Chains A and B, each alone.
Chain A
Amino acid sequence: MKRIMLIAFIALLAVSLIGCSSEETSDTIKIGVNYELSGPVATYGNNTVDGIKLAIQEVNDAGGINGKMVEAVILDNKSDPAEALSVATKLIAEEQVIAHLGPATSGAALNVVPAVTDAKIPMISGSATNPDVTVDPATGETREYVFRTCFTDPPQAIVGAAFAMDNLGAKKVAIYYDNTNDYSKGLYQVFKAEIEAAGGVVVAEEGFSADDQEFRPTLTKFKDAGAELVYVPAYYEKVAKIISQARELGIDVPFLGADGWDSPDLVAIAGAAALNNTYFTNHYSSSDDAPEVADFVKAFQAAYDKTPDSFAALGYDTAKLLLAVIAETGSEDPQVITDALAATKDFPAVTGTLTFDEFHNPIKEIAIIEMVDGAQVLNTKIAPSN
Chain B
Amino acid sequence: METLIAQILNGLSLGSIYALIALGYTMVYGIIQLINFAHGEILMIGAYVGYFSVAVLGLNIYMALLLSMFVSSLVGVLIERIAYKPLRKSGRLSVLITAIGMSLLLQNGGLIVFGTDFVPFPQVIERIPYRLFGGRFVVTSHQILIFAVSILMMLLLQYIVGYTKIGMAMRAVSYDKEAASLMGINVDNVISFTFVIGSSLGAVAGVLLGLYYQTIHPLMGFMPGLKAFVAAVLGGIGVIPGAMLGGFLLGIIEALVSGYWSTTYKDPVVFVVLIVILIVKPTGLLGKNTSEKV
Interface string of B3-16 (1 = CB under 8 A from A): 10011001101100
Q: Is B98 an interface residue (CB 8 A)?
A: no
Among A207, A217, A270, the residue within 8 A (CB) of B7 is A217
Instruction: Name the A residues within 8 Å of B80 (CB-CB).
Output: none
Is B116 touching A42 in the complex (CB atoms < 8 A)?
A: yes
C-alpha spacing A43/B14, complex, angstroms: 26
Is B214 touching A244 in the complex (CB atoms < 8 A)?
A: yes
Q: How far is the CB of B266 from chain A (nearest CB, A)?
A: 8
Q: Is B41 an interface residue (CB 8 A)?
A: no
Residue of A nearest to B112 (CB): A38
Among B135, B223, B256, the residue within 8 A (CB) of A211 is B223
Instruction: Name the A residues within 8 Å of B140 (CB-CB).
Output: 248
Is A38 touching B264 in the complex (CB atoms < 8 A)?
A: no
Is A206 touching B262 in the complex (CB atoms < 8 A)?
A: yes
C-alpha spacing A242/B115, complex, angstroms: 23
Instruction: Name the B residues within 8 Å of A248 (CB-CB).
Output: 127, 129, 138, 140
Is A250 touching B138 in the complex (CB atoms < 8 A)?
A: yes
Interface string of B183-223 (1 = CB under 8 A from A): 00000000000000000000000000000011100010001
Is B213 touching A217 in the complex (CB atoms < 8 A)?
A: no
Which stretch of B30-38, B67-75, B117-125, B275-283 is in the interface?
Answer: B117-125
Q: Taking A209-B267, A224-B3, A268-B120 as contacts, is the C-beta distance between A241 and B262 under 8 angstroms?
A: no
Residue of A nearest to B218 (CB): A42
Q: Is B158 an interface residue (CB 8 A)?
A: no
C-alpha spacing A179/B14, complex, angstroms: 21
Q: Taking A209-B264, A249-B138, A269-B214 as contacts, is the C-beta distance between A217 and B120 under 8 angstroms?
A: no
Is A271 touching B108 in the complex (CB atoms < 8 A)?
A: no
Q: Is B131 an interface residue (CB 8 A)?
A: yes
C-alpha spacing A270/B127, complex, angstroms: 11
C-alpha spacing A213/B267, complex, angstroms: 13
Q: Is B231 an interface residue (CB 8 A)?
A: no
Interface string of A266-280 (1 = CB under 8 A from B): 001111000000000
Q: Which chain B residues in 234-273 approach chain A with CB under 8 Å?
A: 254-256, 258-259, 262-264, 266-267
Instruction: Name the B residues within 8 Å of A207 (CB-CB).
Output: 262-264
Q: How large is the interface on A (under 10, 10 to 19, 20 to 34, 35 or more residues)?
A: 35 or more
Q: How far is the CB of B190 from chain A (nearest CB, A)?
A: 35
Instruction: Name the A residues within 8 Å of B262 (CB-CB).
Output: 206-207
Q: How many residues of B contact A (CB 8 A)?
A: 36
C-alpha spacing A382/B107, complex, angstroms: 43
Instruction: Name the B residues within 8 Å of A206 (CB-CB).
Output: 262-263
Is B111 touching A42 in the complex (CB atoms < 8 A)?
A: yes
Is B10 touching A214 in the complex (CB atoms < 8 A)?
A: yes
Q: Is A347 an interface residue (CB 8 A)?
A: no
Q: Taking A209-B267, A269-B118 as contacts, is the C-beta distance between A38 and B108 under 8 angstroms?
A: yes
Residue of B nearest to A309 (CB): B117
Q: Is A156 an interface residue (CB 8 A)?
A: no
Q: Taking A37-B116, A212-B263 as contacts, is the C-beta distance between A237 and B108 under 8 angstroms?
A: no
Instruction: Name the B residues within 8 Å of A244 (CB-CB).
Output: 127, 214
Q: How far is the CB of A308 from chain B (nearest CB, A)?
A: 13
Interface string of A258-293 (1 = CB under 8 A from B): 000000010011110000000000000000000000
Is B213 touching A38 in the complex (CB atoms < 8 A)?
A: no
C-alpha spacing A358/B263, complex, angstroms: 39
Is B118 touching A217 in the complex (CB atoms < 8 A)?
A: no
C-alpha spacing A7/B135, complex, angstroms: 70
C-alpha spacing A367/B246, complex, angstroms: 48
Among A211, A220, A270, the residue within 8 A (CB) of B214 is A270
Is B115 touching A214 in the complex (CB atoms < 8 A)?
A: no
C-alpha spacing A42/B118, complex, angstroms: 10
Q: How far is the CB of A221 from chain B (nearest CB, A)?
A: 6
Is A237 touching B118 in the complex (CB atoms < 8 A)?
A: yes
Most chain A beta-carbon contacts within 10 A, residue among B115, B116, B129, B254: B116
C-alpha spacing A99/B115, complex, angstroms: 28
Instruction: Name the B residues within 8 Å of A37 (CB-CB).
Output: 116
Q: How far is the CB of A186 from chain B (nearest CB, A)?
A: 17
C-alpha spacing A221/B258, complex, angstroms: 9
C-alpha spacing A211/B227, complex, angstroms: 12
Instruction: Name the A residues within 8 Å of B127 (CB-CB).
Output: 244, 248
Instruction: Name the A residues within 8 Å of B264 (CB-CB).
Output: 179, 207-209
Residue of B nearest to A267 (CB): B120
Q: Is A345 an interface residue (CB 8 A)?
A: no
Instruction: Name the A residues within 8 Å of B263 (CB-CB).
Output: 179, 206-209, 212, 217-218
| A–B complex contacts, Cβ < 8 Å, 22 sampled | A179-B264, A206-B262, A208-B263, A212-B266, A216-B255, A217-B7, A217-B11, A217-B256, A220-B3, A220-B259, A221-B258, A240-B215, A241-B213, A241-B214, A248-B127, A248-B138, A248-B140, A250-B135, A265-B117, A265-B120, A265-B215, A268-B120
**Which 7 interchain pairs have the tightest Cβ spacing?**
A42-B116, A217-B258, A268-B120, A217-B259, A216-B10, A217-B255, A237-B118
Beyond the given pairs A220-B259, A241-B215, A250-B138, 4 more chain A to chain B contacts, judged by CB atoms under 8 angstroms and listed by A's residue number, are A46-B117, A47-B117, A212-B263, A248-B140
Q: Which residues of A contact B (CB under 8 A)?
A: 37-38, 40, 42-43, 45-47, 179, 206-209, 211-214, 216-218, 220-221, 224, 237, 240-241, 244, 248-250, 265, 268-271
